[in-house]
Chains A and B, each alone.
Chain A
Amino acid sequence: MADEKLIVDFWDVGQGDCSVVRLPDNSLVIIDVGPRTSPLIDWLQEKPRRIHSIVITHNDADHAGGLPALVKLPGLTIGTVYMLEDRNKTDEQFINIFRAVREEQKKGRFNVIRLETDRLIWESATKGLDLIAIYPSFSENIEAMKPNETSAILCLRQKGKVGIIWPGDAPMQIVAEKCNGLTPSILTGPHHGGPVDRKKKDFKTWVAAMQPERLFVSVGTKRNYNLPAPAYLSQRAGHGCRVVCSQLTKHCDNEQVNKDLPVLQTAALLGLRPPRSGTPCRGCLRVTVSETEIITDAYDAEHQNRVEKLRRPLCLGK
């Protein structure tokens, strides 16, 4: 059987998170859908697509806010929505975001299933590639005190080796416990490059527990809650990790942000759609995943050249 390949797009959705995995049969697994204004919706509206599954790492609005628009799109077929419980279900925002999801579920458009450890989202015919949740277990989910503490951690594995990790907004302590010793090709965030426990004394040890080759930080120029955290990016870069952020922040180049000059418009270059706010830096990132390797899109060198001209790019550890 031919080597099956996946295309993974890490989207620039402004402040939020969204990745799209294109499976060998061209159906999609969407990992977080981004905020209410997510450009993913614009892209999906343009032509009908088959969605194998939607996985929501946790129910914050910057990860799940685009769900009502997505599930109400005509012409889409959706297999399964995976989500977990991370807050009281009387929470008004939770009810408002998921009302449309329940409505469409009741019509039989898709199943909604609890996301928990060992949940296999997808695996290839050869079983050489799979996407699986490694956190939280049912008890870890219900024992968590805050939504971020129970954010799901997803792994894309190549012949059992972890290639990409999506930890959502999970604390670094939990990421370190679950991914200790791993050397994935790509790690996202967590928490938009500012892990929630970054002020704890053992933080540096937790960061060092896993050594990704590349860090993709999905962060918005606007409403970014002072993310990403310079010290975190600096530590990652110091370990030889290639750090890229979806959007530019004022830390990196205030003047370029004020002029709203994109560093590179990868949404256009990759045929995707841009967010309506913020100044793209790397913008989107695309990788092709086979059982043995992960290859990034053709725009790395151009982006790197341009980043070096910024005033104080956080991604270079300056």
Chain B
Amino acid sequence: MNEILQGLLEAGRLIVAFDADLIEISLRSLHVTLTAVLVAATIGIPLGAWLAVKRFRHRRAAIATLNALMGLPPVVVGLIVYLMLSRSGPFGVFGLLFTPTAMIIAQVIILTPLVASIAHQAMREMWAEYHDLLISLNTTRSQRIRALVWDGRRALLTAALAGFGRGIGEVGAIMIVGGNIDHATRVLTTAIALETGKGEFALALALGFVLIGLAIAVNWFIHTLSRTEVSGRW
């Protein structure tokens, strides 16, 4: 309990002092996860929408597989990406290992099924609502997807924010493919792991509170931007 209080105080102290290391790793955390969410949403949202409107033979299997991939253990993803990007691996020649780019790649793999699954469910429900009208209006598939995605954008935003939440707190994959190198690939979660391993619990907790605060700030900012709960809008 004492350590938790110490952690809170330490967090406050680091923030107020604009600790340079803290700012550096916080910005890197945001850079890695926000980029990964952007890519994951760019792939996942159209995929989810497409799966909702296109009927094909093995659709149920495809949806079930997509949902199951949400359970991919991050550390396993990290290991596989490491083997792919390793110098002895197929894509080693690009020299991406132990860079933020490798971390983004690993997170995209982890986040895309999550974003796509939630997007799919939202689009499925919207499609059930809009089905008769869009067919009667003789829309093309691309017009349908555009109408569903635009009108369902708040649910899709939630999908993206869910992806962000998963990504900002992830540590297993980015530890392996990033290497937690000081001033290069260290982020909040890997720094927390490092400090915990050193027994520096107060500092680890402090970083943890900063991480939580950051996640809350990002979510709050997005909701303000999209004017959630402003009267008449949802």
* Bind each other: no
**Residues of B bordering A, CB below 8 Å:** none
